[in-house]
A and B are shown apart, each in its own frame.
Chain A
């Protein structure tokens, strides 16, 4: 593995591009690949690359694997092939890849058109840019050749190594090239008793789904609202020393922004008009509380109703001391779910409850609960779902399973055979 180059050393300096290639050559090649990517990107007007879907991406993956295999089996003695599976090539590949990931993390993405400079270098859309795709190609070539060298001929002691390297290769390749076949569509369901089989993509294209949905009921369970002192002039919270606002509840007593606040009565559902306030859970109702607030320095006290308000009625404020007022915030959702009938065809159907973290699978699609009309809160009659299909998922998951096993192996075997205890 460790090549010595004594004959060159005798003559003096090892020249660049003399085999074996080391770090200098590796990094020059990595940077050239990056630059080549930027040139292609700029010459196509910064449009990025669109990854081809099935079946072309399958051909690409098979072709790629066959080429790597052929290189390993027939040409493994060539110095350039030796180099691509060497540590210097690997380090240059991981580093340049990490560099692009770094840029991806710091530059706001998918901002086409806001800066020519960012568009032409691909930096405004790294994931789908030529530089990123070419660098990933370099990374996967190196990783693939590394894996092959230890895989053929197969030795049992290389199992851990192969789990990690093959697992990563499969995961990145399938996730990258498979992204073309990923569909994430949004479905809006209303509590109107109608059947719906139309989904919409992010750019507004409509799709007919192979199943039909009907929303029976959409339900939001909310947290109690919080009690807040608000500066009415600046519309900001006056928190005083408090780190967080207290949840309103029957009998609560708390200190907030130099006021002692007691909740004498708490109504989860109230309606009001003019000066009358009453318990009601009709559409548009909101939580309300009867509070007594006592100023901790002056001892003066005010009391009255406060309420969150909803999309139909205004909040109720209690003036404490200009410009500060007391009120309840809009309650936040604790849990939301949709009761839905899913029709696979005219005979087969199923009634399900969809919740966040509990997707439902039907005909190759997974359906997720993603949102609702937040301005209406618990009175939302709209439930927003997402339908996702990803034919590459089994391949990616297989890669992930290999990586998980590889991680356990790494943990169990550790580094050196000796001297690793303290």
Chain B
């Protein structure tokens, strides 16, 4: 198995990504460095892709069946999406964010080699699984950052230093985050059709995800119409993300979501 080369490829990827990100940050002062930054980022993506391709060829199947294999895709997709967001919006910090994601996933793979072999439960063995999860992770990160901006905005608002620029950036992050939220919701529906026979069954997780989506929809529309009501929107944005998180964790603690140890007692 080719997993023994993972540390090598992970290292190359990490070095190139850090190099690329540093060059991009440095290009603030020396614009000439920017193209080199891009090249380094692309080389990093190339390195991890090479590993995936080699593994795919060796296994003679898409590497998507085990826990370890899905993490590989998470890492790859985070970097690609992060790079696209950077190209489009020039948000440098996104490069750091996805580096953190990728490092986390590759790190777990490196520390727990046994997960290379651990197969996923049948319903999770689907090409939709990875895109669905990664797109949601990007969505949360973006909405999370928009939340930080709203908190910052509130602070500035009450200390009379508010500038509309802050809320505009937050709005842009909401739009990006909302776009990914939509993708996540729809990928989930398409996957559910393949795995469970229907695209929408209103189970608690789906319902909750849809609700989150509707709440951000309300924000987008009030914001569009009442552009000058800054205080309202700062408060709205800072509260809806908290509600989102509470719902998310609340759902995970519903009794139905837990595996009962008493299954054993029934034998």
Interface residues of A (CB under 8 A from B): 2, 87, 90-91, 94-95, 97-98, 101-102, 104-105, 109, 127, 175, 182, 184, 223, 228, 230, 235-237, 309, 315, 329-330, 333-336, 355-359, 366, 368, 370, 386, 388, 390, 393, 396, 400, 403-404, 406-408, 410-416, 418-422
Contacts and interface: CB of A to CB of B under 8 A. Distances in A.
A59 to B, nearest CB: 24
Interface of B: 88-91, 93, 119, 121-123, 125-126, 164-165, 168-169, 171-172, 174-176, 178-180, 182-183, 186, 189-190, 193-200, 202, 204, 207-208, 210-211, 214-215, 217-218, 221-222, 224-225, 261-262, 264-265, 267
Contacts of B171: 415-416, 420
A422 B264 CA distance: 55
Given A87-B222, A410-B175, A334 B119 contact: yes
- Where chain B touches its partner, the secondary structure class is helix
B222 A98 contact: no
Contacts of A396: 199
Nearest to B214: A98
Contact of B210 (A101, A184, A370, A386): A101
B83 to A, nearest CB: 14
A403 B182 contact: yes
A188 B264 CA distance: 27
A404 B183 contact: yes
Contacts of B218: 91, 94-95, 98
Contact of A91 (B91, B168, B221): B221
Contact of B179 (A333, A356, A410): A410
B175 to A, nearest CB: 5
A154 to B, nearest CB: 21
Given A91-B222, A414-B175, A228 B122 contact: no
A408 B221 CA distance: 18
Contacts of A422: 91, 93, 169
Contact of A406 (B89, B91, B182): B182
A390 B189 CA distance: 14
Nearest to A23: B222
A416 B264 contact: no
Given A94-B218, A404-B182, A419-B168, 15 more contacts: A90-B221, A95-B218, A101-B211, A235-B262, A235-B264, A333-B121, A335-B122, A390-B198, A396-B199, A404-B183, A406-B182, A408-B179, A419-B169, A421-B89, A422-B93
